[in-house]
Homo-oligomer: A and B are copies of this chain.
Amino acid sequence: MNDLSRASVRETLAPSAIVESVAPQVDGGRFAIKRVVGEEIVVSADCFAHGHERVRAELRWRGPGDTTWNGLAMEPLANDRWSARFVVDRIGFWQYGVVCWIDHLAAWRDGFLRRTDPADLRVHALVGSDLIAESIANAEGSAREDLIQWARTLREESDPQKLHELAMDDSRLELAQCHAPRSGAVQSLSLPAWVDRERGRFSSWYECFPRSMSAEPGRHGTFADLEANLDRIRSMGFDVLYLPPIHPIGRTRRKGRNNSTLAEPGDVGSPWAIGAREGGHTAIHPELGTHEDFRRLVAAAKERDMEIALDIALQVAPDHPWVTQHPEWFRRRPDGSVQFAENPPKKYEDIYPIDFETRDWRALWQTLREVFEFWIGEGVEIFRVDNPHTKPFAFWEWLIASVRRDHPRTIFLSEAFTRPRVMHRLAKLGFTQSYTYFTWRTTKAELTEYFTELTKSPSREYFRPNCWPNTPDILAQQLRNQPIEAFAVRLALAATLAASYGIYGPAFELGENRPRDDVSEEYLESEKYELRHWDVARAGRIATLAAKLNAIRREHPALQSDWSLAFHATDNDMLICYSKRSGADTLLVAVNLDPHNVQSGWVNADLAALGLADYGAWTVEDLVTGERYPWWGSRNFLMLDPRRAPAHVFAVTPGHP
């Protein structure tokens, strides 16, 4: 009776437990955190109640297709912080939250430890037996029998010593707690997580223009020419082959060589000026081949465990079919003209922007979605999106969610070189990976600060960096007129600092370093406006290094994710040193930032970050050269000759052989 009454009272007004500060989360759950299949989500929260009540907390989660929640008891850390973790084992949309409730049985048992007076103990035993009765109501079978038995003996026993032993029965306490009503239970918001396939986190990109891949100089390259290069690119260890737009190129206001606004006869124009009488975003430039040829290329890549990534640029050349079929998709100026596209200071006289604000926006958005659907139908699962920041955020949030609903394996790379908040917003609303400022971060201080932000700040939950030393648009300052050793430095940094990175391939392999002028970042004779013939046979140095680094990346999980990055002090600003770990796999990387001179100095290694706190002696084996060095303690000597190697990539093992 007594227990029943108390139970019912609790239903009328149970003081509730509290859950605060659930982590991880992005903007209070407005956006999803990102993970890949096989990763853990470690959830923590402040869980407590008033007074001397004790609480229990449970992590709840569900994945794609789950009709019920999974539950796992959370463990207390310190200061009312509780934690538990689960593994996301499927691609798709997940949710997780925290439930916390008041554990009257635990508080009752605490009371037993404080009591000594025999009469008091007997009354407190009755209190316990009433509480246990609440659990009995929810229990069945042997558990029920066991609890009934426990409650009865607590009620009947009078010997203080025996009562004490009864109350200390941990297994029965646990049993009663499992079946107890969850008094004052509260549940946090359910927080979203998006889980990608592994390549969303770990990928090595190679960009090239198929039209420049022919064996003979001057001949327009084809998909077949590119196919003939697959084995060589694969031998360098790249697994994503990214192609600039492959569609028909506009003729109206076509750009000439070196971005001239006057094309001469024979000029091929910019692939980003999409669309001509031959078709638009779903057509293929006739000189590259047919859809059949493209599907063969995609298949040939798949055979080599490579993927083709397409460039999606939502803009048109003036003679794109849409311009005549859907004039309302383009904003007219007062004189009836359409303002050409701009990305200040760049001007794209050969390109019209699309008016996402058109009255006909629903039809427009659907058509743009169908562009993605079309290429997914052709076997493409990775898209590099051109300038997403110049389109409305709402469009991307809708498009990515809607494409993923049917095609959850799809990966979107955001090519937004713009202000931090804008880049982050695009990452939050769904882009799988994002281009970064790495392209312009060159000194030890800059690299340390930027990669600490990328790997340690809360933004790491949604912003996955993809680091590029160069692109067709950007001949970076530190590569302009610089020797091949400068390219080797940037390649070594990108491949070991970032789990995802890429190079604008042939130009990078050949150390293309000629700027168009002194101010812009454009290349001289940029491939964007003309055919180039790349004599990759000459390109041994970078190809060999890339092959080596990508092989190390594949063999070492430490390089396949970013969060474990730790920097180690050196006494020479030209030497940057950092480590990455995954389980027992620990790599220590040292890069000589000076492509011209031998640099040497002392590294002051953070042994704790290397998992070596307990070791004096340790061994580093350079995975590039195979050399081994016995090291001792934190302070060790480094020397790097840029003519020999831009970096040490050390495998770290405790002790000396």
Contacts and interface: CB of A to CB of B under 8 A. Distances in A.
Interface string A87-130: 00000000000000000000000100010000000011011011
Tell me which of A18, A51, A79, A356 has the highest count of chain B C-beta atoms within 10 A of its own C-beta.
Answer: A51
B80 A419 contact: yes
A10 interface: yes
Contacts of A335: 123, 126
Identical subunits present: 2
A2 interface: yes
Interface stretch (A292-300, A387-395, A482-490): A387-395
A9 B358 contact: yes
A20 B13 contact: no
Interface residues of A, number: 56
Of the listed residues A27, A50, A331, A395, the one surrounded by the most CB atoms of chain B closer than 10 A to its CB is: A50
A372 interface: no
Query: Most B CB atoms within 10 A — which of A14, A79, A391, A425?
Result: A425
A507 to B, nearest CB: 28
Interface string A1-30: 010001001101111101011000001100
Contacts of A79: 419-421
Contacts of A9: 357-359
**Residues of A contacting B: mostly:** mixed
A563 interface: no
Interface string A375-414: 0000000000000011111110000000000000000000
A421 to B, nearest CB: 4
Contacts of A28: 28
Interface string A117-146: 000000110110110000000000000000
A629 interface: no
Given A27-B20, A79-B419, A390 B358 contact: no
Contacts of A392: 15-16, 50
Contacts of A123: 333-335, 337
A357 B18 CA distance: 17
A538 interface: no
A48 interface: yes
A576 B515 CA distance: 59
A522 interface: no
Contacts of A129: 334
A335 B158 CA distance: 14
A167 to B, nearest CB: 15
Contact of A50 (B50, B391, B420): B391
Considering the complex of A and B, which 4 residue pairs feature the smallest CB-CB distances, nearest first? A15-B392, A126-B334, A51-B390, A80-B421
Interface of A: 2, 6, 9-10, 12-16, 18, 20-21, 27-28, 46, 48, 50-52, 79-80, 110, 114, 123-124, 126-127, 129-130, 331-335, 337, 342-345, 356-359, 361, 389-395, 419-422, 425
